[in-house]
Amino acid sequence: MNDTKPGVKRRRGDRIDGRRLRSLDPFYVFTPFIMKDRNDASNLFSDTLELSAAEAYIKRKREEGLKGVGMLHVFIAAYIRCVAQYPGINRFIAGQRIFARNNIEVVMTIKKELTTSAGETSFKAVFAPTDKIEDVYAKLKVEIEKIKNDDGDNGTEQFAAKCAKLPRFVFRAAIALLKWMDYHGLLPQSLLDISPFHGSLVVTDLGSLGIPPVYHHLYNFGNVPVFLAFGAKHKPPYSEGLEQRDDRRYIDYTIVTDERICDGHYFASAFKHMKHYLRHPEILDESITPVEDVD
């Protein structure tokens, strides 16, 4: 799943899931040693989107046959388009070095049922920078169908269940070993494929729960550098002095980033473009030539 891109020779120091960046400014080499963990380096961002264009776009896509397409697909497609133009947001820190990820891996955690007692399960979908919303829809549908048709637990749950049965001192030792292997890029592909802690982006849709988006922390284990959450659709509260009430609908979203992977101007540029795609989602139907990250 995370193999090196075709035509790109893997060099000494590269990982299975990414290539080491060697031409960055020395400051980027410095910061992972000062801010060792992702929680040390988390930046919080929030914004609000007016939904007229997005809802019209979703309605048209459903009429074209993408039944069930929604804001989740639009957000992911817009983020993929950002990675295609700003590949720096798809970097990650591992072993106190910076890597460019080989592909775009989106992690989601979903409830099996919308009850307080129901369990959760995670899945990962892999995308290319050239993917359009039809590709996002198709790939998410495949992964969700796998969960629906699986009577047992998926690979992530099976691995967690085995670890949970271990005595605590063995469990601690096993986690320490996994962290050491991850630091040195020695985790096997089979574990990377099922790990919800390794990927480009974790996205959570809190609209189905009827609440605003949270600022979700980044995990210190693994290498996910960005967490995106969006909440329930809402109308703005009535304000005195307005000639006419605003009856349009809005959605709030939050993004938590690992500031060590690129600078603030780069993140700001990427997120401004993402909002442009969310405001003008018809752009997501256009083809794009991806930009490669630096060497």
The kind and range of the H/E element at 244 are: none
- Reading the block at residue 215, the tokens are 């600022």
Any domain includes 112? yes
Per-residue pLDDT, 230: 97
123 in Cβ contact with 147 (< 8 Å): yes
Give CA–CA dist 97/260, Å, rounded. 10
Q: Is residue 207 part of a domain?
A: yes
By CB atoms closer than 10 A (0-12, 13-18, 19+), residue 199 is buried
The pLDDT of residue 161: 78
Residue 242 has what pLDDT? 59
Using CA atoms, how far apart are residues 19 and 245, in angstroms rounded to an integer?
Answer: 52
Q: Are 63 and 46 in contact (CB under 8 A)?
A: no
pLDDT of residue 17: 95
Structural domain range at position 57: 26-150+190-235+247-284
pLDDT reported for residue 183: 95
Q: Is residue 127 part of a domain?
A: yes
Q: What would the pLDDT profile of 220-234 be if each residue is shown by its tens digit?
A: 999 999 999 999 999
Report pLDDT for 1.
Answer: 57
Contacts of 282-290 with CB under 8 Å at 24 or more apart are 282/57, 283/81, 284/74, 284/77, 284/78, 284/81, 284/132, 284/133, 285/132, 285/133, 286/132, 287/130, 287/132, 288/81, 288/84, 288/85, 288/129, 288/130, 290/83, 290/84, 290/85, 290/87, 290/129, 290/130
Q: Give pLDDT, residue 119.
A: 64
Q: What is the pLDDT, as a whole number, of residue 218?
A: 95
Q: What is the pLDDT of residue 250?
A: 95
Report, as ranges of residue numbers, the positions in the chain whose pLDDT lies below 70: 1-8, 111-119, 150-155, 238-245
What CATH number is given to the structural domain containing 139?
3.30.559.10
Task: Count how many domains the chain has.
Answer: 1
Q: What's the pLDDT score for residue 253?
A: 97
Residue 295 lies in a domain: no
User: According to the model, what pLDDT value does residue 11 have?
Assistant: 85
**What is the rounded CA–CA span in Å between residue 12 and residue 67?**
46
Query: Has residue 75 been placed in a domain?
Result: yes
Is 261 a domain residue? yes
Q: Dihedral (C-alpha) 278, 222, 191, 229: value to the nearest 10 degrees?
A: -30
Does some domain include residue 241? Answer: no
Q: Does 214 fall in a domain?
A: yes
